[in-house]
Structure 1
Amino acid sequence: MKYSFRTLTLMSIVILLASQALNAQTLYKVTLYRAAPGELLPLIENLKERVNNYELLGGNKPYIVRHSQGDQWDFMVYEHISDYKFYYSREGNFNRIFTPHYSDVEFYKLVSFHETIYSEGPDYKLVAQLFENNSFFHVEMFVALPGKQGELIKQREMENVYLKEIGRGENLIFTVDQGGYWDSFTLGGYRDIKHFAESADIPLGVEEKAAIKAGFKGVNYISPYLRSLIAMHHDTLGGKVE
């Protein structure tokens, strides 16, 4: 198949813009909540109300993952706050309504644990697209071994190449700036748990070729390489709170 110079140029621009959006870094406040005993449903309603208020005040829509299996939290809330200067400015005041003040006794009656992580991540449009197009999510959170933080991010990027080559969606990569003890985490989106499990049907030969193209020695080396870089790794599967 032959393409004109103009067509090839346009294709190159589209690929470049997509790559820039994926690699562009903006700030997110990601909060993990665990409901107090018996307060799961009231906490869901409280968080949903806060999402609505956030949007009414002009903020980008926050998204919530509800734990299904894995880690000990019940909800993971993604808020796009752009940067610290805007977040703490008068104009960005709406950002701070989501996490209640410590004196909000009624809210904290619903919560037995919460942890806030300020993280750099991809363009908000990509995060919104992932949530709007999917209902099931895979969250992987990492603590790197000393001095391995940068190599861990590189491994995550290599794995995204692998996923793309086998026809799977790429994971969004977040690097932690403040809060918690995590160094980085990734978020992958799927239609449902069946879609998540479809990778089991991909032929080994296809996986092997994709792994080598991504820079791994082979598909069976992906996990051992990851484990050589991390001190701790938490996996969680969950659905979207509508």
Structure 2
Amino acid sequence: MTQPFVDYDKPLNGVASISLNRPEALNAINMAMRDDLWTFIQAARLDPDVRVLIFRGEGPRAFSAGADISEFGSAPSLHESREARRQRDLWALLEDLPIPTIAALHGFCFGAGIELPLYCDLRIATENTQIGLPEVTLGYIPSAGGTQLMPRIAPPGAASGLILSGDPIDADQALRWGIIHRVVAPEELDDTVLAVAERLAVADPAVTAALKRSIRRGLDLSMSAAIRRDTQTARRLANRLSDR
């Protein structure tokens, strides 16, 4: 029996964890792992007991070094490749997830190995974390949302430099730019992430989902339209409380 490359478990009540488990390849994400990620994220989404989802990478060297470039061009046809992505759109699933997500980062976080965490609500990293979008040095562009997510999280000028150069940055720089939320010692990462997840898991899931929708969708609205939407959401949640 082959060892699974993605693991799923529930370390705490209300908390699920997805671990990339291909450390010998720096957790490079291949097509089988994409399918497993979609399956496990969907499982967490549909499980009413899961209120927070954590992403981790096994092994000491990397959260993930990115997509497995050895598989590039290996799909039977371009049409089949696009159809598979349409049917199991991993990134759209992550973006629309109503529960809080936390990325526990360490070591190399390159390409898809930082794009996946950029979809998460919180990113906690160890001091040895390196973040980069090196696609330009390989002759293509970040294709999992990096060109759009990074400028929405980091200062646009800093994000442009990161994307256009392909050069990595360390954890301290990523913290200054707001790409990560906290830097901890390597031995403190798991406990810190679990403590944050446990705190988030006590919140009302309906409120958490409403907050996530407000934050994400508000970025595409004018300030006045976003505030009107928040007012309507607040009224709806207040009515729900009064009906209890």
What's the TM-score, normalizing by structure 2?
0.25
Indicate the structure with greater helix content: 2
TM-score normalised by structure 1 residue count: 0.25
Of structures 1 and 2, the one scoring higher in RCO (CA 8 A, sep 6+) is: 1
Larger Rg: 1
